[in-house]
Amino acid sequence: MKKIQAIRGMNDLLPADTAIWQYMEACVKRALAGFGYSEIRFPIMEQTDLFKRSIGEVTDIVEKEMYTFEDRNGESVTLRPEGTASCVRACEEHGLLYNQTQRLWYMGPMFRYERPQKGRYRQFHQVGIETFGLEGPDIDAELLLLGYHLFRQLGLDHCVSLQINSLGSDAARAAFREALVKYLSAHEAQLDEDSKRRLHTNPLRILDSKSPDTQALLDGGPSLADYLDESSHEHFTRLTQLLDAAGVPYSVNPRLVRGLDYYSRTAFEWVTDRLGAQSAVCAGGRYDNLVAQLGGRPTPAVGFAIGLERLVLLVQSEGRLPEGLDASVDVYLAAVGDVQAEALKLAASLREQLPQLRLGMHCGGGSFKSQLKKADKSGAQVALILGEDEAAEGKVAVKYLREDRPQQSLNQNDVAQLLTSVASGAQQEAK
C-alpha cells in the first residue's frame, strides 16, 4: 500500500529540531518580555474577506497563495497567510484599541501556497510583533531596536542587515505610482514579463524586480523619495536620527516596497545573503490606515514578523547555540536488577524536590553497561545508579558523565541537595 506522506511544503519537526526551536523561541520570548510586550493568540483560520480587505486583492498572497475553501456551511474561510490582519481583527473585536496603546506579539503557523524551496514553505512559522496607538517615530525605532537586540542575542548580527524606506502617505504613493506608470509605460518593451503584468495591477512591486534590466530601467525613472509628503519625510528623518543615536546599523533602500498593501510610511526588512533566494528574515512597517480600513477608528500601527524557519536556518549555520542543546535530560537514573519499585520512588521524590530537574529513568532492564551507554547517549550530566545492594541500604551511586570526578555513594535523602546545581543549570538554560 502507498504510504501517506506529509503535504508538500509542510514539515515535521523531529526531536533534534525541536530542541533548537525551543531554544530559539525562548530567546525570542525573553527579548519580547524584556521590551514589555504581551502575547495575543488568535485562530489560524479566518473569514476570507479579512485577508482580501487587508493584504489587498491584487497581491501575490491573495491572488495565488491562500489556502481558501468553503467550510461545511458554505462560508469561505482561509488559513491565515500572516498575522497582522487577524491581530487587528481580534483587537477590534475585543475593544483593545479603544483609548489605549498596545504592544503585542504572537507566534505560530502561517500558510501560503508558494513553491517550496530552502527557507520557503507552505506551512511556516512567524513571530509577529504589532503595536497600536503610537504614531511617532520613537515606536518605529523601538521595534527596530528590538529586532537588532534579538539578532545580537542569537549571535546573528554579523549576517543580517537592516534596510529601511518610507512609503509616504497614500496621496504621495498615488502620485509616485502615476509618475512611475507613465515612465515605465513609455519603456514597456524593456520590462521583464512579471513587471509587464504588474504595470497594470501593482506597479510599485516592480521596484522589487530581480531583473537587472528592469532595475537599470528604474535608475532613470522617478524616485519614491522625491514624492514623499512633508510629514512622512520628517517622520523618516527623525527615525534615522533615533537609529543613529541607538547605534542600530541600517541602510536606506529607496526601492524597498512590501508585498502587502496595508503599509504606509516606514517599511523595513532584515535581509541576509546566507539563505539563497530567500533573503528576508524579518519584515514589516507602519500600517496606519489598516484599522480604519477594517471598520475601526483610525489608529496608528506598526509591526513586523520574523520567519522562524529562516531564523532557525541562520542560527544553525551562523549563530550561537548553547552546548548540550540536544540533551533530553540532566540526570539519568539507571535501575540495575530487581529495583524498579525503588527506582520509581526515588525518581518521584527527586522530581518533587527539584521541579526544574529533567530526570530520565531507565525502563526496560538490561545490564549495568548497557544502561550506562543509554545514560551517556541521553546527554545527561549525571547518572544515578541504583543496584540491588544500594536499594537495600537506602543508597545510590552518583557517576559524573561529563566531568573527571570520582564516583560517589550517597544516602538517597542527600541526592537532591547534590543535584541542586544540575537543576539550577537546567533552569538557566530554560530562561
Q: Which of residues 41-80 bind ligand HAM (CB under 6 A)?
A: none
Could you give the CA distance from residue 166 to residue 329 in angstroms, rounded to a whole number? 49
Q: Which of residues 354-383 bind ligand HAM (CB under 6 A)?
A: none
Among 126, 232, 264, 289, binds ligand HAM (CB under 6 A): 126
DSSP state of 361: E
Is residue 127 a contact partner of residue 28, using CB atoms and an 8 Å limit? Answer: yes
Residue 280 binds to ligand HAM (criterion: CB under 6 A): yes
C-alpha pair distances (Å), 60 with each of 56, 198, 210: 9, 11, 16
Residue 309 binds to ligand HAM (criterion: CB under 6 A): yes
Residue 114 binds to ligand HAM (criterion: CB under 6 A): yes
Q: For every residue of 228-252, which 3-state class applies, written as one string?
A: CCHHHHHHHHHHHHHHHHHCCCCEE
Q: Which three cell numbers stand for residue 257?
A: 516596497
Residues 6+ apart with CB under 8 A from 5: none
313 in helix, strand or coil?
helix
Residue 147 binds to ligand HAM (criterion: CB under 6 A): no
Could you give the CA distance from residue 324 to residue 358 in angstroms, rounded to a whole number? 13
Among 54, 78, 84, 289, binds ligand HAM (CB under 6 A): 84
- Quote the least distance from Cβ 97 to ligand HAM, whole Å: 15
Q: Where does this chain touch ligand HAM (CB under 6 A) — which range of 197-205, 224-232, 303-311, 338-346?
A: 303-311
Residue 40 binds to ligand HAM (criterion: CB under 6 A): no
Among 40, 51, 59, 83, binds ligand HAM (CB under 6 A): 83
Residue 142 binds to ligand HAM (criterion: CB under 6 A): no
Residue 106 binds to ligand HAM (criterion: CB under 6 A): no
CA dihedral 81, 83, 84, 87 (to 10 degrees): 140
For the chain, state the CA radius of gyration: 27
* Residue window 281-300: x/- pattern of binding to ligand HAM, with contact defined by CB under 6 A: xxxxx-x-------------
Q: Where does this chain touch ligand HAM (CB under 6 A) — which range of 126-134, 152-160, 327-335, 412-420?
A: 126-134
- Quote the least distance from Cβ 318 to ligand HAM, whole Å: 15
Is residue 111 a contact partner of residue 77, using CB atoms and an 8 Å limit? Answer: no
Nearer CB in complex with ligand HAM: 176/262: 262
Nearer CB in complex with ligand HAM: 119/379: 119
> Across the beta sheet with 123-132, what order do the strands follow?
38-39, 102-111, 123-132, 301-307, 280-286, 266-271, 161-166, 251-252
Nearer CB in complex with ligand HAM: 284/360: 284
Nearer CB in complex with ligand HAM: 281/426: 281
How many other CB atoms are there within 10 angstroms of residue 370's CB atom? 14
Question: Which positions touch ligand HAM (CB under 6 A)?
Answer: 82-84, 112, 114, 119-121, 124, 126, 128, 130, 259-260, 280-285, 287, 303-305, 307, 309-310
